[in-house]
A and B are shown apart, each in its own frame.
Chain A
Amino acid sequence: MQASNIIEMRDVDLKFGGDAGVFDLNIDVPQGSIFAMIGPSGSGKTTTARLMVGLYKPDRGTIRVMGCEPARFKPHHRERIGYMPQQFVLYPNLTVEENLQFVASLYGVSFRRRKKRIAELLDFVELSDARRRLGSQLSGGMKRRLELAGSLLHEPTLLFADEPTAGIDPVLRGKFWDAFRDLRSQGRTLFVTTQYVGEAAYCDLVGVMRDGRLLFIDTPDGLRRRALGGEVVQLSVDPSSVRAAARILYEHPIVNDVHISRGEPGLLQAYVEEASSALPVLIPLFDSHPDVTLRQAEEFRPPFDDIFIMLMEKIDGAEKARQRDG
């Protein structure tokens, strides 16, 4: 497993003074995956990405990207890396096509190859009609699409995208993630930072950062489990029998906990290890209790925004408990 990691960070610190910086980062990014780094603004996501591409040098620890320390990247390493910075860095006085020509030249894409490649990418990011428009005349979303096209021109093996979906509409965000998953299916690796917690669902691995520290790395489902303590089966019964239903569920050994919804009468949630295997067990329980009418039962997947909030609350709670005990 170790050999298939395209990025490895070990005990990395970078301090900017005071509490600013990133601390004790340990990250493995498997080849051919989408790794999303999630966290609030100022949590250290961009710094982590810049450490990986060599724009920052760590104060402590080691970083290896494609088997090489970023500070020692050779041109052939750089040619395999695509980088989409957070800020629009292409030129307002150049057209969309000229900007892409410039980036293609930067990466040494031959004149013959680039024409076809630019046409493909313009189609891909839906900017073909705007190819002669100046950079200064593009909307925010178009600029991000142009940057994405720029970062993919040389067909990189590893793409770093720093908040690629920041400030763009949900439809376009969906298209970006479609594109990222398409790239992953081609065997490329993507390291993406984002403030949109919901985008964690599109990734293979998610790292959660806060105050310069990596809280944990997990799969999206793993995060869900961490937040919820397992999976959730949501059941709907007659409001008058909701307490009886809760008791029935609570007494079953596969159910860890039961919550009755206060906002929606008759709705309750059972926390189990695995929803798919628990459902066939739980539904028949109500057959022997005619006083409880089960209307609906299904696996409940709360949005990642809620998951993230739950995680943060859990961490805050644990932190307070530690301070209290200490």
Chain B
Amino acid sequence: MGKGFIRFFAFFSKEINEIRRQPKLVLSLILGPFLILLLFGAGYQGERPLLRTVLVVPESLVDTPVLEQMTTAIEANFQIAEVTTDRTVAVDQLVRGDIEVVEIIPDNIEETVLAGQQAQVEFKYNEINPLTEQWIQYLGYAQVTELNKAILRGEADQLKQEATQTNQELADARLQLDALQQGTSSADAQEVATTARELNQALGILAASPVLAGQLAASGDDPEQTRREIEALREDLTAIEQAAASGNLAEQQERIERASQRIGELEQVTGKLSALPSEVIVSPLNQTYENLYGVAQNFMFYYAPGVLALIVQHIAVTLGALSLVRERLLGAIEFYGVAPVTLTQVLAGKYMAYTLFIGLILTVLMGLMLALGVPFEGDVWLFVGLSALFVLASLGVGFLISAVSSSDSQAIQLSMLVLLLSIFFSGFFLPLDNFSPYVQPVGYIIPQTYGIQGFQDVLLRGRVPDEIIWGALGAIAVVSFVVVHVVWRRQFRRIT
């Protein structure tokens, strides 16, 4: 037992001594990653791309207030480099790469719409970057939606004016009908016929308005029911108009009473409609947001745990990958093969030494990050435990590389591959869910995938990471240790 400890300690102290003999390496392992983190934090803005855009407009829009309103709306999403009427010149600029987008506003929008067709706003771009293409299409969609809303807002204003006018006409008509019904009207039959006809026409316009239907639907009323009421009223008014013209109004008392009631109900609807703000008519639905976390972190702080995990994993994988290969290239394995030391003692000593060393680096990095303001919401010991498990899992991957590498350059190359895999498949930049189910398992075997989540949980959310994180890191650590042990056991006492 005593000798076993001494042998285990042999590798522990040997590795520590070797590492401390390389102060430049230690410094670069600490300062290098920190500077990368700092550069990333200071430089990454996470904003949408700046899209220089030439706006092509029809001659009829030039120097009009409409164009001014339009450019103001467009500039919310695109940086307008120039407004022109020459489509060819704009496209040439796009082909040359001087600009990113050409936006072409169609001529005769109103006529096209009145003809029952949608007017097309064209967006032209020349992109190989799928992300930029997605941004252009999304921003184009958002912008056209805004333009549509602006147009609808105008229409809504006009409808409101008509509704107000109709409301007034309804009130007049109801008064006349009430007077007729009570037999106290001084109005002659011709006047009643004229009022009924005008009201009938106004109701026709109102019934055909889609905005009214939308508003009624949004307010919970049944637009079809209202439309039927209007149609029924129009029939009554037609009958009253004809009766007034033929001098038979006295025979239409029941219809006059019913029309008066319907007018009263419609008055309420049109009264409500004219009182509504146009914004509500155009966009009946709005949204509110609540982040239970409070305020989301800035990009630097959000990515800090991921960068920390990436750095720690890369150091651990590289140290592990080079460690056993170096021993083999140095010929030390031949020496160990004769000595009374076991492979478990060799590996345990190396695991211990590297964990301690990386722990030291992690502590310094964490200190520097705290100095930059990165939050540490969770429990320190929880962080220590998670880090230790994460480092052990990463070292396991490194030793695994070492076991299958025949030279240090091969070990370095494989370590770089693990780094690349980690950047793409660990959820560092792209969420793992974005990948197909066939590819996602790649992320599941990378310690970084769990390191990012765990560090974010502890540092940013202040909560205990899910059991799956502990379990996965533990599984990677154990499986890699066992595989390394099996692979190396064959080489350890034998020269192959």
Chain A residues with a Cβ under 8 A of chain B: 50, 53-57, 71, 75-76, 78-79, 81, 83, 85, 87-91, 93-94, 98, 101-102, 105-111, 134, 160
Contacts and interface: CB of A to CB of B under 8 A. Distances in A.
B107 interface: no
Contacts of A93: 17-18, 21-22
Given A89-B330, A91-B330, A108-B3, A55 B21 contact: no
B430 interface: no
Contacts of B21: 93-94, 134
B10 interface: yes
Interface residues of B, number: 27
Contacts of B337: 53-55
Contact of B338 (A83, A109, A110): A83
Contacts of B495: 50, 55-56
A71 B338 CA distance: 10
Contacts of A54: 337-338, 493
7 contacts: A55-B338, A57-B494, A83-B339, A91-B18, A98-B17, A105-B14, A134-B21
A110 B4 CA distance: 11
Given A88-B331, A89-B331, A94-B17, 20 more contacts: A55-B337, A55-B494, A83-B335, A87-B334, A90-B332, A91-B18, A93-B21, A93-B22, A94-B18, A102-B10, A102-B13, A105-B6, A105-B13, A106-B10, A106-B336, A106-B340, A106-B341, A108-B7, A110-B2, A110-B6
A85 B337 CA distance: 11
Interface in B1-47: 2-4, 6-7, 9-10, 13-14, 17-18, 21-22
Contacts of A78: 338-340
A105 to B, nearest CB: 3
B340 A108 contact: yes
A105 B9 contact: yes
Contacts of A160: 338
Contacts of A75: 3, 340
A112 to B, nearest CB: 11
Nearest to A54: B493
Given A102-B13, A106-B10, A89 B18 contact: no
Contact of B14 (A76, A83, A102, A108): A102
A57 B496 CA distance: 10
Given A93-B17, A93-B22, A56 B494 contact: yes
A7 B23 CA distance: 47
A89 B332 contact: yes
A186 B234 CA distance: 130
A77 to B, nearest CB: 8
Contact of B339 (A71, A76, A101, A106): A106
Given A75-B340, A108-B6, A55 B18 contact: no
B340 A107 contact: yes
Nearest to B335: A89
Contact of B340 (A71, A79, A88, A89): A79
B6 A81 contact: no
Contacts of B334: 50, 55, 85, 87, 89
Contacts of B7: 105-106, 108
Interface string B322-356: 00000000111011111111000000000000000
A85 B339 CA distance: 12
A55 B490 CA distance: 11
A163 to B, nearest CB: 13
The CB with the most chain A CB atoms within 10 A, among B7, B13, B334, is that of B334
Contacts of B6: 105, 108-111
Contacts of B2: 108, 110
A113 to B, nearest CB: 11
A75 B341 CA distance: 8
B14 A94 contact: yes
Contacts of A134: 21
B14 A91 contact: yes
A101 B336 CA distance: 15
A53 B494 CA distance: 10
Given A105-B6, A107-B339, A55 B332 contact: no
The CB with the most chain B CB atoms within 10 A, among A56, A88, A91, is that of A91
Given A102-B10, A106-B10, A134-B21, A85 B331 contact: yes
A78 B339 CA distance: 6
A55 B335 CA distance: 10
A81 B17 contact: no
A102 B7 CA distance: 9
Given A93-B21, A94-B14, A87 B331 contact: yes
Nearest to A57: B494
B476 to A, nearest CB: 30
A55 B331 CA distance: 12
A134 B338 CA distance: 24
A55 B493 contact: yes
A85 B2 CA distance: 27
Contacts of A107: 339-340
